[in-house]
Structure formats: C-alpha cells, structure tokens
Structure 1
Amino acid sequence: MNKPITIKEIARDLGVSFSTVSKSLNDSSEISEKTKKKVKEYAALRGYTPNQIALSLKNSATFTIGVIIPDIQNAFFASVLKNIEIHAKSYGYRIVTFFTNEKLKEEEESLKILSKGLVDGLIICPSEETFKKRKFAHFDAVKNMNTPVLVFDRVDENLDFDSVSVDDFGSIISGLDYLYEKGARSILFASTIPALSVGKKRKEAFEKFLKDNPEVKGTILEDQENGVLQNMLLEVLKTEKIDAVFGMDIDSTMLASGAISMIGKEFKEEISLLGYVNKQYNRLVYPKISYINQFPEKIGQMAVDIIVDKIKIGNSKILKKEVIETFIAIKDTSK
C-alpha cells in the first residue's frame, strides 16, 4: 500500500514552501488563487488527506459529536440516530453514542462523560425517567460549557438549549380534525407516554379539541405498562361505541391495532385507527396503519446542521428552536 503523500512532499514536488502548501489547502487569503488552485489539484491527484489527529491537536477539536439516545429499539430514535450519523459524516464529524434505556442514572453518567471535552457538541434526547422524576440538575453542568448542546424530540422549559422537535400539538389537532371530518364522534385517546413532555403536549391538544367540539365524546386511556393499557383498551372497545382510536405513540398504536383485531371489528367500516408507527414495519403488514409522519430524517439532519454551525462559529446564547411540521399518512385503518 502506498504511503499517503504529505504536505512536505507536495511542497517539494511543486517547488514551493511548506507554508504555501498549508495555507493554500486552508484557503488563506495570503495565497493567490492561481497558486491555491495548483496546490489543491496536485494534492487531489496524489490522494492527499489531512491528518485528523494533527488537526485536532492544533484546533483543540475532536471532530466528534456526542449523542445520547433513550432507546435504540425504538424505531423513531433509531432512524434519527442513523440520519445524525450520515449527516455528521458529510461535515467530517464522527459520532459517539450512549444509550440510556430510559434511565435517569444512565443519562447522568453519559452526560458526565461527554461533558469532559471529549466531543465538540452534544445531541440529546432526555430519558423517560428524567421527565417522570422531573430531575434536570445534571444538565446544569453543561450550561456553562463552551460545548454546544441540542435537545431533540423531548423538549422542556427546564432544558434551555437549542432544540429540534415536531409540532406535537398541531399534529394531534390535525389528526383529530381529519377523524372528525370522516364522521368520528366518539374518539379514544391511548398513550403509554403520559409522563413525557410529548405525551403531555399530545394530551393537551386532545383536551383542547374536545373543548372546542363538545359534540365529540372523548375517552382517555393512559398507562406506561403495555399489558395494563391493552386490557384497558379491550374493555372499552368491547363495552362502548368507539368510532376511532388515536394512539399517541408506537406502543399504544400497536396495542390498539391488536385490540381492535382481537374483538373482530372492521377497520374503516366500524372503527378507524390513527397513530404512530415503525414505517418500515408498517410497509410489511396488513392492514397498514394510518400514521403521523414525524420525519425523523429531518430531525437528524437539522440537529447536525445546528450543532456544526454552533461549533464553527462558537457557542452562542441565542438559541435555535426548530419545529418540524408533520404529515398524516392515510393507510388501511382509516377512511
């Protein structure tokens, strides 16, 4: 295998100084455009690549972004993480990932490790236990750091950082408007995430819709335990006339789909189902569930764009709060 060419060798081959080559490769205004073009073309021809370790030492940078994810088995988070990695690479950054398994202690330890200068920026989705216990003190340590921090999906007033999220309130209102237009007047709200900020926001939207539409009967079923919620769903669906079920997360949506099938109700004709799904899995099954598309690929890309921008220009106290609009994908379980 040929040894990679160095700046010193490029300078020797072109008959210029080491400094001229270095400044040309870094687009210095001290070097003429003609010389920079000649140096860059020759460097590309010879397959020159910068030494990332040397650059890191010189710039006090790691070219690494830390990512903290609550649950890798969750299809939404897995998709966001995939797109974070792909987009980070396009900027020349690598990612180091920690999984908290929705535990506060794991989150505290992960944040402690990553806040010691090992990464240039942090992208975080807080754990479920963090919200349940309302403990955010471990984030205080990174507020005074120079390292930019971004929170995605689960935003909260106690997390005063850059953020990328979806319009959860608007998503639920749009979904309910759609069900209403299709004739639903008895709607069941199902959730396994009552403690999370997104769960609370979605419930708030449902309650607002019911207040604005008093002719609609709303039933709310919430429990973080899947088995408990499944039994609750079966009981209500067997004993009450429900026109539509709106699942507030992947688990509750799949539990509702199973419960509807178990009691033998026909989708569309007798009942509609709208919720959140694993899109890849949804393509392989029947009936395909109508769902709210949260565009995780956009979340991952936008999170990286903001973090890299903050890394390059220096961390700023002016925060970016990006909110992505969602889209209702109509499939087999609704009219």
Structure 2
Amino acid sequence: MSKKITLKELALISEFSVSTISKALSDNREISTKTKKKIKALAKEYNYRPNIYARSLKTKKTKTIGVIIPNILAHYFAKVLLGIEQEVSKKGYSIITCISDESYEKETKSIELFNSGCVDGFLISLSKETQSNNFYEEINDAIEQGLPVVMFDRTSDKVNGDKVTINDFESAYNATQLLIESDHKKIIFVSPISGTNVGNEREKGYRQAITEFFKGTIAPEVLNFTDYPEFTTTLKQYLETNIIDGIVAADELSAIYAMNLAISKGYKVPENLAVIGFTDGILSNNSNPPLSVVDQHETELGKIAAATLIERIESNETTAPKTIVLPSELILRKSTHSAS
C-alpha cells in the first residue's frame, strides 16, 4: 500500500492551490466540474485522504452525530437506527453509535465521549437505570454546554431537550379497549420495561382502560419483570391460579413470550386468549399465530429524530425545545379475535 500524502504534497503534484483542492474535494460550487474530477482522480491515485479532525478544528463541525440506545438486540431500536442512518446519510453526516445496555454508567461514558468534541450533537433513548433513578445530570450538563441533544422513545421532562415519541398512554389504552370491546374481560398487562417512561405510560393506559370500562368490577392485573427466567416463573405461577382471556404487552418480545407460555398451558390463541404487543417487528410477523401489534413507525421516528437534531445543529437560532408526538397504529393479526 502506498504511503498517504498530505494536502500540501497533493497541491505540489497537482499544481493547484491548497484552497482549490480542499474546495474541490468538498464539492464546493466555486470549483468547476472538470477541475473537481481532475483533483479527485489525483487524490485517489496518490492515496490522499482528508484529515477529518483537522477539518473539524477549522470549521468547528465534525459532520458526525452520536446515537445512544439501550439495547441493540431489540428490533425496535434496529428499525429506529435504520431511519436515523438514512436521514443522516442524506444530510451528509456520519454516525457513532453507543449501546448503554440499560446502564447509567455506560450511558454516562458515552455522553462524556460525545461531549468531548467528536460529534456535533447526539440522539439518545434513555437507559432504564437512568430513568429509574432520575439520573439526568450528565445529559443536562451537555445541553447546558451547548451540545444539541434530541431524545427519542424514552424521554424525560427533567431534561431540557427536544423529544420525539409516540403517545404511549393512548396507544396502550386503545389496545386494551380493542380487547374489551371484543368481549375480553380478564386482561393482564406484562412489561419488562417498568421504570422507563414508555413502560410506565403504557401501564397507565392499560389501567385507565380497565378502570373506565369495568367501573371497578374488574381490577387491573400487572406483571412487571426484569428478566425472562423470572417472567417464566411468575407467569406460569399466575396461570396456574388464574384464568385470563387477554394480554397487553409493553413490547414485542414479552408479548410473544407470554403468548407461547400461555399456549404451553393449554390456551388457544385467539379462540380463548387474545394478545397484543408493541412494535411491528420480525418476531410479530413470524410468530404462530402472527401477533397483533401497536405499530410505532420506528423507522419514520428515527428519520424525524435525526432531522430534528441536524436542524438544531445547523440552525443559528436558539429556540425552545420541542416535543414531536407521532401517531401509532394498531395492526391486527391472528392473535386477536378482531383479525381478519
């Protein structure tokens, strides 16, 4: 492999000025198409690569944004990342992705990295540990120091930044209402994300629907859990002493997990048990039976979150933080009586 050359060395070889070469490689309109092609060909021939860090020192922009997500394995976050990447690439930015793994400590280290100057701003879905303990000092410090931040999905009113979400309360309320209006009475709510704002709001939506429609004659039943071995034990014990006819789950995996456990206990879906989860992912489409879900339009949410951040980065005006609430949609499949 040939040795990389510097911008000054390329200028000597090409007989163009450093300024002209820099503008040509950045597709500046001041440089003709013919000159751009010639300079780019020489840069490729002589293995020249622009020094991104030097450019960022000069422009005070890295053209890079950070992304912090709690869990890379959840299909929801994979689809959000897809939307983010599509929007970021369209706007000429790159991304650095960090995974908090639901850890406040890991999330904090990622925020410190981003706040060191390697990105122009960052997107974040808060970790469960951060939300459960109300630890928001680091993210608020980054915002106060002028770093643009946009929260998505898991957000907090205690953070003074832009937010992109769905209406989790309303979405869970509507899912529960659907089962009630399909003549289901003993509906339970299961969740592995209690302690997060989305988990809490979905639980509230479920509780509100049960309370309103049954007027106290049937009480809400909530099974919160932190890991799936625990959930297996808890739900099996619950099903041994209780008869249910509906499940509303806070996410996709817990819905399918609960449905499969119920089927192993003799329940037939949807004949005597209806199940609805959140996120229209691969699992939902390929479960047996296919799962009815609240579609959160994850890819579109990712695009809007990224566009909101880039707008904030590129704007010369300081405006009040905004909250964007996207509509959700019920997709009915064969895990509910309402499916066709």
Name the TM-score, length of structure 1 as normaliser: 0.84
- 2:149 corresponds to: 149
Deviations 1:118-167 (A, max 9, x none): 11111111111111222111223212222211111111111221111111
Partner of 2:46: none
Counterpart check, 1:231 vs 2:230: no
* Amino acid across the alignment from 2:278: Y
Note if contact 1:249-1:276 (Cα within 8 Å) is conserved in structure 2.
yes
> How far apart, CA to CA, are the structure 1 residues paired with 2:39 and 2:186?
66
Alignment of 1:78-227 (within 5 A): 78-214=78-214, 217=218, 218-227=220-229
Partner of 2:244: 242
Q: Which amino acid aligns with 1:129?
A: E
- 1:275 aligns with 277
* Deviation (angstroms), 1:184: 1.2
Quick check: 239-248 or 41-50, which moved more? 41-50
What is the rounded CA distance, in whole Å, between the counterparts of 1:42 and 1:331 in structure 2?
57
Select which of 290, 293, 296 maps to 2:295: 293
For residues 94-129 of structure 1, what are the alpha-carbon distances to aligned partners after superposition, in whole Å with 9 as ceiling and x for unaligned?
111111111111111111111011111111111111
Contact persistence 1:121–1:149 (CA under 8 A): yes
* 1:91 CA displacement: 0.9
Structure-1 residue corresponding to 2:309: 307
Distance 2:38 2:161 in 1: 43
Question: What does the per-residue CA deviation read over 1:304-332, in whole Å, with 9 as the maximum and x for residues that have no partner?
Answer: 10111111113624112111111111112
CA distance in 1, matches of 2:198, 2:284: 22
Match of 2:132, as an amino acid? K
Q: Give the alignment's Cα RMSD to 1 decimal.
A: 3.1
Q: Residue 120 of structure 1 contacts residue 311 of structure 1 at CA under 8 Å; is this kept in 2? A: yes
Secondary structure of the 1:274 match is strand
| Partner residue, 1:257 | 259
Look up the match of 1:266: 268
Q: Structure 1 303/59 Cα, relative in aligned 2: closer, same or farther at 3 Å?
A: same
More deviation, 156-165/39-48: 39-48
2:247 partner SS = strand
2:327 is the counterpart of 1:325: yes
Residue 310 of structure 1 aligns to a residue whose secondary structure is helix
Identify which range, 183-192 or 215-224, moves more after superposition. 215-224
In the alignment, the residues of structure 1 paired with residue 102 and residue 221 of structure 2 have an alpha-carbon distance, to the nearest angstrom, of 28
Take 1:247 and 1:51, find their aligned partners in 2: how far apart are those partners?
50
Identical aligned residues as a percent: 24
Distance between the aligned counterparts of 1:282 and 1:176, measured in 2?
A: 18
Aligned residues: 321
CA contact 1:276–1:291 (8 Å) conserved in 2: yes
Task: Output the CA distance in 2 between the equivalents of 1:284 and 1:225.
Answer: 23
User: 1:44 & 1:330 partners in 2: Cα distance?
Assistant: 54
| Distance (whole Å) between structure 1 residues aligned to residue 35 and residue 117 of structure 2 | 32
Q: Shift of the alpha carbon at 1:62? A: 0.5
Cα distance in 1, alignment partners of residues 27 and 93 from structure 2:
19
Residues 256, 284 of structure 2: 8 Å contact kept:
no
Contact residue 65 and residue 96 of structure 1 kept, 8 A: yes
Distance in 2 of aligned mates of 1:315 and 1:85: 25
Deviation at 1:213, TM superposition (A): 1.2
Deviates more, 1:116-125 or 1:204-213: 204-213
Unaligned runs of 5+ in 1: 28-35
Gaps of at least 5 residues in structure 2 are: 44-48
| Cα distance in structure 1, aligned partners of 2:259 and 2:86 | 33
1:286 and 1:292 map into 2 onto residues whose CA distance is: 18
Q: Which residue matches 1:33?
A: none
| Equivalent AA in structure 1 for residue 292 of structure 2 | S
Separation in 1 of the partners of 2:302 and 2:173? 25
Tell me how far apart the structure 2 counterparts of residues 284 and 248 of structure 1 sit (CA, whole Å). 18
Matches of 2:88 and 2:66, distance apart in 1: 11
- Give 1:175's aligned amino acid: A
| Matched residue SS, 2:214 | coil
Q: Deviations over 1:67-101 (max 9, x none)?
A: 11111111111221232122211111111111111
